[in-house]
Chain A
Amino acid sequence: MSVGKNIEHDSAYTHVTGESLFVDDRPMLKNEILVGVLGAPVSSGVIKNIDVTKALALEGILAIYTAKDFPQNKWGTIVQEQPILVDDVIGYIDEPMCLIAGINNEVIKRAKKLIEVQFVEQPAILNIDEAIKADKYICKAIAFKQGDADLALKNSPHVLRGAFECGGQEHFYMESQASIVYPLENGQLEVHSSSQHPTETQHVVAHALHLDFSQVVCVVKRMGGGFGGKESQAAHFAAMAALVAHKLKRPARLALSKDDDMVMTGKRHPCKNFYEVGFDNQGKILAFKAQIYVNGGAYTDLTPSILDRAMFHIDGCYFLENCHIEGRAVRTNQHSNTAFRGFGGPQGNMTMESVIEDIANFLKFDSFKIRRLNLYGIDSRNMTPYGQMVDNNVLPEIFDKLHKSSEYEKLSMEVLAFNQEQKGKLRGLSMTGCKFGIAFTARHLNQGNALVNVHIDGTIQVSTGATEMGQGVNTKIQQITAMAFGIDPKKVKVMATSTEKNHNTSPTAASSGTDINGAAALVACEKIVARLKMVAHYHFQGIVSNDLQELPEFDAAIDTDYIKLLDEKFIDSQKQKEIGFVDILKIAYFNRISLGDYAFYKTPGLGFDKKSLSGKAFNYYTNGAAVSLVEIDEYSGELKILRTDILMDLGRSINPGIDIGQVSGAFVQGMGWVSTENLFYHQSGKLLSHSPTTYKIPNVQDTPRVFNIELLENHSNVQNVLRSKAVGEPPLLLGASVWTAIKNALSYRSKGKLPHLSSPATHEVILMELSSYE
């Protein structure tokens, strides 16, 4: 059986040989044009005039377009308020403003310098504090509450108040935003985009150019990484290429440079979360109040949903008997912040992990004790602040197992002994957890469809709405399909995602790519299998067709359960007879029985009412925990991660190799977010860290020196396809363990003060905090 096996990624071979085709690798057509994007000159202001005369005069420049060239210049996933190109009001510095169509990049670079923009600059709002002061909000969420937080706070023996602050994060997908648009006849467009959301790309392109949705096909073969950055924000760049292709009737290619991509596109939302926590002498949380502020940037984008998820995850893994959680998203003059792996969840979760670390430092207890004490219970203490019960709760099992397997107690004693000696080095240890809710909180997105074509040589093509960005969704669908037909996964090809094969697809996001699309593919496979089993049944019964009589129609009364599909064969398990898979396909074909099918799937049982805080926001939770041991150079604040142990519950893993790769990748990305990845802005609002020279994602030397990843055995997740669990986002939350371990290290030198740490805890942040204790 192909499911549960560690088979190779379906693109592994072409990845290592360099043959995998990404958008910008597509051969240039003879009349193809390149598209460059010029950004707005200031963070806030009004454009008075754009003079392109000189730039247009350059040989090799074919056209320059501005906002007025778009029949419809506004787009937006939730609220259609974001201009594709700056209209007159500038939302943020480097916001796309002009499109330059030229024959090569050199001439486009020269043209950019010749475009003259007249504008009136206005004061800009560049962070959460300024936005709060100016009363600039994108949205306010309805509060989550449980018990009576105010009363419980009043009665708490201890109360801590503070604000947890974390910075944004650049996706740093290796492949920057890219699209190529080929104009077809009758105004039709074929769009090839590096997009997590082909349907939205199709819609935004069509909408912008006043075309019917049916005139636009969006194809996504693969992405060179997405991480949420290509969920909504691939679409308007595709629309820019589409405008050029549509106007000039020539193929148009827009592939951003890394620098342009980093200054123009949105990032993870920075947060400032104010909290009050009341607890008893043992560290049990009695009351919790939080006011979440996320920085949405200039436009709405996906911010309301991201704010929701931050609120859904501020409980972390811990039961909050009395709580009151509010959230607001501010509007600033920055790139419009967007989806990023975790989608607000990490910002919420880390707030609570920080609070727990503070409680531990306050009471002078080991933080594990506080965590274990407050963990969601199995039979009681298991209600979330939004009225969903945590069922099938494996958190206690995970925390206890990891506590043991990571040698937490031993490490903790070693840290204590190490830090008593003054050797210029300081160590810290901490365990954090994740309880990540799986499902789009926008219920309608939890749907998918799949098309399965079986060819008479026994090979199969599957098409779904899932897009492949490295996470291995195609491989998992390949395995599911192979399992359904009892064939070798090598005979299954998962095809490029295209809106002409799969309609109204949801973004490949919320970790749910396999959950939704894998389930849809399985339903389609099962429909075909049912017909083929019937054919096999006739065969085993000796019923044959002739020129007058085809094999009878499908008959629901006949039980074909006795037929098994295994090793490319249909097996009669009662009479020990068998026939080859391909033989049955041929019989079916000659009897005019369909070898293809289409299926639709929606995640059952979802529905959440924000006003009454009732219903089910999530299908299930993916859980895990991590222990990190860190070392700080006390002279420089430099950080080393000596060891990380992770235990994840991924249900019954479809592909353990791919899943473990997701865990290590997500953890390191989360670790980068809380340590080295610092977005540095000039006071004008311009992002100065816009390339790998200045923006530091972890490299191979930054990973934990010892890195152990284990999966928990769990066969109980009946809510999801083949009892698996989604993996993409949850382990990113565990990166927080590095940050809490730093906080723990600092507590050894803070002379009784609570260490104050913001995220990212760069070397500078760590050293300056350490030196404040002197």
Chain B
Amino acid sequence: MENRQKIITTINSKRIEIDGERAFMPLATFLREERCLTGTKVVCAEGDCGACTVLLARDIGADGKLTFKAVNSCIMPLYLIDGAHVVSVEGLKKDDNQGESLHPVQQAMIENHGAQCGYCTPGFVCAMTAMVEKIKSENKTITEKKAKNYLTGNLCRCTGYQPIIKAAMSLDLDKLELLKDRHHNPNWLLEMKKIKSTPVVMNFNQKTIFLPVTMKQALEAKSLNNDIRLVGGSTDIGVVVNKGRLETPKAMALYHIDELKIMSHDNSEIRIGACVTLSEFEDYIEKFILELKSILHIFASPQIKNQATLIGNVVNASPIADTIPYFLVSDTKVVLKSIHNEREVLLKDFYLGYKTLDIKPDEIVTCLKIPRLSALEKLRLYKVSMRKDLDISAVTFAGTIEVENLKIKMVRLALGGVAATVIRLSQLESQLIGSDFKRETFQNIAKQLPQHISPLSDLRASKEYRMKLCQNFFLKFFDEVSVDLSNGGY
């Protein structure tokens, strides 16, 4: 198979080729500086304000059409949009022989005073368009709650959001043409498939970009080139690169490898491949573990979840990563592959210390195996941050428990944000097993907590607050589970 030395992509229906150093450039910078598309704004350069939101279609949906999703272009290097179609705010207006017409989202924003200063507006318009693409495709209707969810990743300092919510609520989905229909072009889809089946190898000035199309290519590359960095959605690396704290001269991204997009399950476990994004995982997990879906709901913005991979969150190994507490209490395993070997490691053994992993230089994490809950287990996941949504946690909690005859038969507990890694509280677990399931038991455990954890103070929370939260989590866990049990509910 032949290699390609450039990125091929489409921006607002124009085919564009990108080679050399520019492939490292964030999409937002490329749009603004190279394409004169200055509607896309960069405010925070860290994916936390949504001003740079654009629509990205990298995959073809079940209906054979492009699926446009909102992403933060400021932290998305161009090498992540190979074979994709990007629509920026400038591409929403329709300009054909019938003249110029606005996208209904744009019209609604005008009519409802959704724009004041205008700086966040292009990002909101794109995020709202992504909402429309998804909701209409699923034959659902726009509710205020859903509108807020789709706009969680966009900050506005002028409007107080009311006019923007009104604009979203005023949309008539029946009358609205979707981008995936407007941009449906069988020829491009064919070309897109072709693009995605050719590996990209770019070498220049001691820099490397590699986009393998098979697992074998990826593993070979990792084995030959131990220091090549795997980039998933670039939602973390993109930030540290933008802030000048890291350079990524050698990058490999796996999104052209279809087998890594797998999501499957049997009676005992759920398997999630390395390229599954958080939003794909959130949709998939709903029918298995609702509680996990709820925590993913306040995890991050739609933009971030559309970019970031679940395995990226796990491998990034932050002590405040929001998915890890559940994976710890469920005894989730990571699957590691190298060119010669494949092994599985329990997540709690995978973390050796602060951002230190049990992973060999030639290994790639390919899959996560998540055990399913037993019908008798009660699960609770908590997270507290400075702001409810779109915020990094101060403390996280996961607890799963089985109660029989008012005794605790099984319990597994994890806390995040209180140590160098997310931790399992094995000692407390063994103490709880066999104890009476009553509030005093948990109050007692809460009292002992200072002997087991010593959280630190930082800008998100003081150590006193962190301790108090953890103690209260135990009480909340008991209170909620006992309500559950008395309701006979699951």
Where the two chains meet, the residues of A that have a C-beta atom closer than 8 Å to any C-beta of B are: 8-9, 11-22, 24-25, 27-28, 109, 171-176, 222-225, 227, 257-259, 424, 469-472, 635-636, 638, 640, 657-658, 660-661, 663-669, 676, 678, 680, 688-689, 691-694, 696-703, 707, 709, 762-764, 767-768, 771
Contacts and interface: CB of A to CB of B under 8 A. Distances in A.
23 contacts: A9-B113, A11-B115, A15-B122, A17-B92, A17-B93, A18-B37, A18-B39, A18-B40, A19-B90, A172-B157, A174-B41, A175-B43, A661-B158, A663-B160, A664-B161, A678-B386, A692-B43, A693-B392, A702-B388, A702-B389, A703-B162, A763-B386, A767-B469
A649 B59 CA distance: 52
Q: Looking at B33, B37, B44, B390, which has the most chain A CB atoms within 10 Å of its CB?
A: B44
Interface residues of B, number: 77
Interface stretch (B175-183, B329-337, B416-424, B470-478): B470-478
A668 B160 contact: yes
Given A11-B115, A12-B115, A640-B388, 19 more contacts: A11-B118, A12-B109, A13-B102, A14-B118, A16-B110, A18-B89, A109-B244, A172-B157, A222-B117, A223-B117, A424-B479, A636-B384, A661-B160, A668-B160, A694-B459, A698-B387, A700-B165, A702-B387, A703-B162
Given A12-B109, A703-B162, A768-B464, A258 B43 contact: yes
Nearest to A27: B36
Q: Which of A19, A109, A661 has the most CB of B within 10 A?
A: A661
Contacts of A224: 41, 117-119
Contacts, number: 227
Contacts of B462: 764
Given A470-B116, A636-B472, A764-B462, A16 B106 contact: yes
Interface of B: 32-33, 36-41, 43-46, 48-49, 51, 88-90, 92-93, 102, 106-107, 109-111, 113-122, 125, 148, 151-152, 154-165, 239, 243-244, 382, 384, 386-392, 459-462, 464-465, 468-469, 472-473, 475-476, 479
A14 B161 CA distance: 19
Nearest to B244: A109
A697 B157 contact: yes
A769 to B, nearest CB: 11
Nearest to A26: B38
B39 A661 contact: no
Q: Give me the 4 closest cross-chain CB pairs, A-B, nearest first.
A: A18-B39, A470-B117, A224-B119, A15-B118
Give the dominant DSSP class at A's interface.
loop
Contacts of B88: 18
Contacts of A636: 382, 384, 469, 472, 476
Contacts of B102: 13, 16-17
Contacts of B107: 16
Contacts of A176: 43
Contacts of B119: 22, 173-175, 224-225
A14 B243 CA distance: 31
A689 B157 CA distance: 17
A696 B391 contact: yes
A257 B386 contact: no
Contacts of A259: 243
A224 B452 CA distance: 49
Given A700-B161, A703-B160, A635 B475 contact: yes
What's the dominant secondary structure at chain B's contact region?
loop
A12 B110 contact: yes
Contacts of B125: 16, 18
A53 B244 CA distance: 21
Contacts of A424: 476, 479
A763 B390 CA distance: 15
Contact of B162 (A25, A171, A664, A702): A664
B388 A658 contact: no
Most buried by A among B36, B89, B116: B116
B384 A763 contact: yes
Contacts of B45: 257-258
B38 A18 contact: yes
B476 A638 contact: no
A383 B410 CA distance: 70
B386 A676 contact: yes
Contact of A688 (B109, B163, B459): B459
Contact of B111 (A8, A257, A680, A688): A8
B117 A174 contact: yes
B159 A17 contact: no
Contacts of B92: 17
Given A16-B109, A636-B384, A668 B118 contact: no
B158 A470 contact: yes
B160 A669 contact: yes
Nearest to B48: A692
A739 B104 CA distance: 38
A18 B122 contact: yes
A93 to B, nearest CB: 16
Contact of A669 (B110, B157, B469): B157
A660 B162 CA distance: 9
A257 B36 CA distance: 20
Contacts of B109: 12, 15-16
A691 B43 CA distance: 9
Contacts of B157: 171-174, 225, 227, 665, 669, 697
A529 B379 CA distance: 74
A426 to B, nearest CB: 13
A473 B162 CA distance: 20
Contacts of A19: 39, 90
A708 to B, nearest CB: 10
